[in-house]
Structure 1
């Protein structure tokens, strides 16, 4: 499985919207500038995310996009499935029921089903809130480390 640019950009866009949720509706121009992404490319992603009910949109002056769901309700799995389609490791698992004529005699099917389950459980277990929490935790660790370094450089003679 390889995640496309569309999937990666959609994830970055949703994270950006979550980080700036207090700013109201956010233009694609602002998201693109902050994330270093093409606005045109984001325009292709918006309709996909809109279909899932993940985004709220408004037009006109000060129009833009915001999350329609809380970051704790938006999973990486849902975002990637929306942009990528199936994330199944083999094509026979992309549809239910399995259309493969060898399905009942396939010795490797349990391997692929298990892998698919692990992938989906992992991705569905990560919410945008989880990502934001991890980011803030890492930023705090960096801040404390920098503070400790600065304090050690000052030495006992400086105030």
Structure 2
């Protein structure tokens, strides 16, 4: 799994909109603050709108805002919706499995499955709200990622 500029820029835009709840931000302002071209953002925000992450308002004071609260936007879903499966190899994919002629007795498939599971574990447990509230910490040792949520 590789997150392309599409996934990166989409998350930048969602974070910016999440930092301005209930406020409509114009495409130029989003472009300026995310350092993404207006042309690329137009395409990306249209896709995010079709996927239900953002909504738009037309007119002189038009622009974009989040369609739902940041706590309801799962980062794993966003990445899957934009980038496809989280698995690094088709043979280890759960959602888009692709058979491999070397699969029987393959000693690499367990590694690719572990990579997929680890990526999914982190991304599926992370919301836009977690990112906005800076609730992700890297730890030393076996517990490599912890998301701190209020009790």
TM-score (norm 1): 0.74
1:46 paired with 2:41, answer no
The 5 A counterparts of 1:106-117 are: 106-117=106-117
RMSD: 2.0
The 5 A counterparts of 1:60-99 are: 60-94=59-93, 95-99=95-99
Partner of 2:139: none
Q: Deviations over 1:53-80 (max 9, x none)?
A: 1111222222211111110111222222
Bigger fraction of residues in helix: 1
3-state SS of paired residue (2:72): coil
Structure 1: tracts of 5 or more residues without a match: 136-159
Partner of 1:16: 16
Q: What is the CA distance between 1:31 and its match in structure 2? A: 0.7
Partner of 2:118: 118
3-state SS of paired residue (1:65): strand
Bigger fraction of residues in strand: 2
3-state SS of paired residue (2:40): helix
Partner of 2:143: none
Structure 2: tracts of 5 or more residues without a match: 136-151
Q: Which moved more, 1:95-104 or 1:57-66?
A: 95-104
Alignment partners' CA distance in 2, 1:21 and 1:73: 13
3-state SS of paired residue (1:72): helix
Partner of 1:147: none
TM-score (norm 2): 0.77
Q: What is the CA distance between 1:52 and its match in structure 2? A: 1.9
Aligned residues: 134
3-state SS of paired residue (2:65): strand
Q: 2:17–2:25: 8 Å Cα contact kept in structure 1?
A: yes
Partner of 2:146: none
Alignment partners' CA distance in 1, 2:99 and 2:54: 34
3-state SS of paired residue (1:57): strand
